[in-house]
Amino acid sequence: QSCFPSFGVLSGPAEWRAAVICLLGEKPFDKRLIFGERRESSRQESLSLDRHTTHKMSTLWKLTQMCCDIAGNTTPTMNGQHMNEEVVREMRRQTFRDCRAELAKLINETNCHPIMVRLAWHDAGTYDCKTAVGGANGSIRFEPEINHGANAGLKKGLELLQLIKDKFLDVSWADLIQMASATAIELAGGPKIPMKYGRIDAVSGRDCTPEGTLPAGGAPWPGKAKSAPEHLRDIFYRMGLGDKEIVALSGAHTIGRARTDRSGFGAGDECTKFTKGGAKPRGDGKPGMGHAGGQSWTEKWLAFDNSYFKVVKDKVDGDLLALDTDKCLFEDAAFKPFAEKYAASQDDFFKDYAMAHKALSELGSKFIPAEGISIA
């Protein structure tokens, strides 16, 4: 109470009081912004909180929720007063916005768009809609999952994200991974994806799913599949997604490269004319590509557009990659109408891709609050 009298007496264990003091320092706050009366003036005041205050108070909110969970309460309170949920949500929104801004800076500086998309997809793509196991819960950061063959090379993505995680301890790994993917798509010129946040993290390797839940690039196909279309349907139908989502999500191969030491396909340190040093694969024409090597699906493999569908359809260049799971999009009777549509119209592709990406990013996720938090 002597540290910030506007709060009154803070109830709870000594550890909780110490955490609050550590988070908020000695600067007094008007508790009307956090507790009690739901007045319009309080709402307006809350929106004017500076970012430093907002970030710290968002962390306070998360700690309060943890204490409520331990105590068996459903509504966070302090001093016997209910916390103003609208104000707290705005605090969390600002934290997510700040986190997204830091991610954008990292991605632009390191040209790591593709690995961020792959990391998020491989975290979410373990979901089984029948058992409700797996999904976008951040379990990919644990062993044994991160060591699965399909996840080769993704430790680098986690190392990059650790730089952001250290600044935003109250953003879950599950949120951070999915936010990085959506931000990478948008920065590369792709659609704005209507994401929501507030995911609860997996807590240990016990939350990891068995190996073999992600798509393969070529035969022999896992399970009972005898062809590329059968295999894709085995994988994506298990997640609860359909043919349109399969084709739309395949279009994300418009960015990135395949490396033999990661997927077993593409190229290694040897380069194509599109992945050699000095190439400019960014859509904005700026230099930068990361390490040379690998084989890309498209010429501008750091630009998100519908060129993947055009390249696969027309087989325009032998230096560009086309796996069996790519070619089948124009061969399978159910896939082909979507693939043709996206090759003809980038707008149609972006519209369907954004919704498919959103659906994938929420598979198996549990949110606080239950409906999640959207940010502008």
User: Which residues are known catalytic residues?
Assistant: 122
| DSSP β-bridge partners for residue 295 | 258
Q: How far apart are CA 178 and CA 111, in angstroms?
A: 17
On the 0-12 / 13-18 / 19+ scale of CB atoms within 10 A, 59 is: buried
Alpha helices in the chain (DSSP H): 14-24, 40-46, 51-71, 85-110, 113-124, 155-165, 173-187, 228-239, 243-250, 307-314, 324-327, 336-344, 346-361
> E strand or H helix at 295, and its extent?
strand 295-296
Q: What distances in angstroms separate CA 245 from CA 69, 141, 169, 300, 357, one per listed residue?
A: 37, 26, 33, 23, 8
How far does CA 337 lie from the centroid of its chain? 28
